[in-house]
Amino acid sequence: MKNIFTYSTAFVLGLALLATPEADAQQFSKRKQYNSVGFSLNAMNYFGDITPVTNFTSFRFGATRAGAGISYTRRFYPRVSGRLGLSYGRISGDDEKAADQNSPDARYRYNRNFAFRNDIIEASAVVIFDLIENRNNYLKRPDFVPYVFAGVAGFYHSPEGLVREGAPGGLSEGSYVPLVDLRTEGQAKAYSQTQFAIPFGGGVRYRVNRNFDASLEIGWRKTFTDYLDDVGGTFADPAKLTTPVQQYFGGGITKLQGPGTPYPGFTNPGEARGDKGGKTDWYIVTGVTLSYILTPRIKNPKFR
């Protein structure tokens, strides 16, 4: 699964290059190019350590959260467009709801008892490849166009942990606490909140009328961090967790631990807190977009 994003990105960019030979560039004049602006309503989810199964395909529908975005798209060639986007959304996860306490594979995560939310602000630039070409201007564009896309993105994220019942004094049950600066796994320094991602996916676009298009799109974001959920390594040495808040989110939140429980040594230093495969986290954005085509300004040739 780790090569899916690489193959998908290369595939889309390869299609774009093949679809834009010099002849096309000459035939598809600037008179036929156009721009559009869009507004999206999104649903966001994620793949990581706090999901029913810790792999690329696992996510919990109940953890889906809303988001929104704006975009600017430029059509360059009959099949190829470029799009800049800015979006905001939230992802979340909860061991208690995602993991089956009776499953031999999931009861570890259920006992970990961690829950989080993470607000993500993303800026992206992608290449869009239409599976149905349009060699005419925007007025004669097809009514229905499936497409694929890939590109690059940067995002800022801020994970927060949920305070459970029975938390130590000073923590209010049901509240959320910022996690980055707590360094809950005893890190020497906090992980970066600014990260890069590879967005890729596909969608369908429908012509509503002369100037409006509506589209439905799903896109995966391959990130390069394992800390969208603040869980990525091993339990820390208690000596590195000096405050009650650090101690709580670094292991005290666990349901059962210690001698006489089914999980002796559960939070011992070096024991796995996240998955052991070194996998990075992903997030997924599914959205509906309404786009308005900016009427091109056509300059008529001057004759003497």
- Which residue's structure tokens are 């390069």? 224
pLDDT by residue (tens digit) across 22-79? 555 555 677 889 999 999 999 999 998 898 766 656 667 788 999 999 999 999 999 9
Q: How far apart are CA 116 and CA 94, in angstroms?
A: 7
Please say whether the beta carbons of 204 and 141 come within 8 A.
no
Confidence at 235, pLDDT banded by 50, 70, 90: very high
pLDDT per position as a tens digit, 255-300: 988 888 888 889 999 999 988 777 899 999 999 999 999 987 766 5
Q: Which residues contact 28 (CB under 8 A, 6 or more apart)?
A: 76, 77, 78, 135
Q: Which residue has the higher pLDDT, 41 or 135?
A: 41
HEC string of 225-255 equals: CCCCCCCCCECCCHHHCCCHHHHHHHHHCCC
What domains does the chain contain, in order, with CATH numbers?
4-294 (2.40.160.20)
Percent of the chain predicted with pLDDT > 90: 67
Structure-model confidence comparison of residues 30 and 165, the more confident one: 165
Q: Which residue has the higher pLDDT, 19 or 142?
A: 142
SS3 18: helix
pLDDT digits (tens, 9 = 90+) for 169-190: 789 999 999 999 999 999 999 9
- CA angle, corner 65, sides to 67 and 202, nearest 5? 65
Per DSSP, helices labelled H in 19-61 are 22-27
